[in-house]
Amino acid sequence: MSEKRMVYISGALSDMEDTERARLRMFYEWVGAVCEEYGFSAYLPHRFSDPALHRNKSPQDVDRIDRTAVTLSYLVIAYVGMPSLGVGIEIEMAFHAYKPVVLLFEKERMDQRRVSRLVRGNPSVWHEIPFTDHEDAIRQLKEFLPAFLADVREQSLPPPLSV
């Protein structure tokens, strides 16, 4: 790959306590670092439009920034372990831009049927990673990414469309 392909890391940022937001931002950063280990560049929305850190951005600015990033991405990895309208919209944006999506969520959320079937049934979802803790999520992501790249290279899966 001469040019790094971008992975959009989607996850809840709104309507939570500062400690929870900080914990999730660290998880998103960790996911992004793993993607970079496999030759991707990671786009982390909280760096550009976190509601707590970037209060000066208008809703229209956030939509334009995130919509552009999803459209330009090669893959979307979405943490859906907590309800988030923004994450659902980003997954739908990925569908309309022909981008594959990987869902990350805690196993107990699936067992309790707390991850939306509508999100899980979205045609852009190529893979789900139900995990027990963040370390397990990262381990499974490290198993998935090489297989994803190999499948795309071998053309057994269609490559995501570029804009």
pLDDT confidence band for 127 (50 / 70 / 90): very high
**Whether residue 112 has pLDDT greater than 70:** no
Percent of the chain with pLDDT over 90: 61
Regarding predicted confidence, which is higher, 43 or 163?
Answer: 43
**Whether residue 69 has pLDDT greater than 70:** yes
Res 163: pLDDT: 45
State which H helix or E strand residue 141 sits in: helix 134-153
With 0-12 CB in 10 A as exposed, 13-18 as middle and 19+ as buried, what is 38?
middle
Any idea which residue has 């923004």 for tokens? 86
pTM equals: 0.89
Q: If we measure between CA atoms, which residue out of 101, 105, 103, 100 comes closest to residue 136?
A: 105
Average pLDDT, the chain: 87
Regarding predicted confidence, which is higher, 3 or 11?
Answer: 11
* 91 CB neighbour count, 10 Å cutoff: 24
Report the pLDDT averaged over residues 105-110. Answer: 82
The structure tokens listed for 33 are 């670092």
Res 138: pLDDT: 97
Tens digits of per-residue pLDDT, 79-91? Answer: 999 889 999 999 9
- In angstroms, the CA 123 to CA 1 distance is 27
CA dist list (Å): 163 to 44, 74, 82, 98, 131: 19, 10, 30, 10, 32
Any idea which residue has 């071998």 for tokens? 154
**Whether residue 47 has pLDDT greater than 70:** yes
**Whether residue 75 has pLDDT greater than 90:** yes
